[in-house]
Amino acid sequence: MACPLSPEHLIIVCCHGIWTGGPARGYDENEWLIAGFQKGETPTFIEHVKAGLRVLSEDVTSLLFFSGGPTRRETRLSEARSYANLAEANSYFDILPEVAVGRRVICEERALDSYSNVLFSLVKFWCDCGEWPQRMTIVSHAFKRERLVDLHCGAIRFPLDRVNFVGVDPPGMRDGTNEAAWKGVAEAITQWKEDPHGIGKLLAGKRRKRNVWNTSQGLFLDEEKKLDSGVQLEEYLLGGARQPWS
């Protein structure tokens, strides 16, 4: 991909489902492939798309990455591509004119969990543009802020003072009535604290279960780019070595 402008700002919208298309342009939940526990959440997914587009509209040096791989056996369509399709089908919700979007909306189509949403998008930014972002904005559920910012960005040593977070929660999380979901949030935080890079049996197993199309989970798809990147891989990444984005 030819990278526009001189980008400095990486915006990541973490994807949570697959919009399969349809006349309701995403406003009918039957057009979505989602898990049972996500019932009623698709309007929130649309709000995440809108939030990412708003941040994009406010900064000409920004690029918007929809991040999420193909996670359903019913289709090879990735979560990221479906969100991009949704934005286009809705004329970018009149937040940005199509001519202003150009090549500034990008799909990261391999991530299978929230850690990979951050790390794969960061690396793809460099692979596409040849430079590391100076700052990052992450869009997701508000209840995932600690996981995405403090734990994931902290684990890969992206400076937290250069990270912004935009959180929009689904119904039941905003009013605190979904006690089971809040319990799950606490359990996930504990799991990621114990396994910051998601390489242990539990978190890696969740990723494998979602990888229904055997999507590559290597950090780089191109050996030459891997060598040129300056990224300290494997045990260095796990050990907290300084990285080129630090």
Q: Among 50-59, 65-74, 158-167, 182-191, where is mean pLDDT lowest?
A: 182-191
pLDDT at position 147 is 97
Q: Which of 103, 131, 120 is nearest to 9 (CA)?
A: 131
Q: What is the pTM of this model?
A: 0.94
Q: What is the pLDDT of residues 6-17, one digit of tens each?
A: 899 999 999 999
What's the rounded mean pLDDT across residues 104-120?
97
Confidence category of residue 1, pLDDT binned at 50, 70, 90: low
Helix (H, G, I), strand (E, B) or coil at 226: helix
What's the rounded mean pLDDT across residues 101-125?
96
Q: What is the pLDDT of residues 41-72, one digit of tens each?
A: 999 999 999 999 999 999 999 999 999 999 99
Write down the mean pLDDT value for the chain. 92
For the chain, count helices (H), then strands (E): 10, 7
pLDDT at position 160 is 97
Beta carbons within 10 angstroms of residue 152's beta carbon: 25
% of the chain with per-residue pLDDT over 70: 92
Distance CA 198, CA 191 (A): 9
Amino acid at 42: T
Q: Is the pLDDT of residue 183 over 90?
A: no
C-alpha torsion sign, points 160, 157, 142, 191: negative
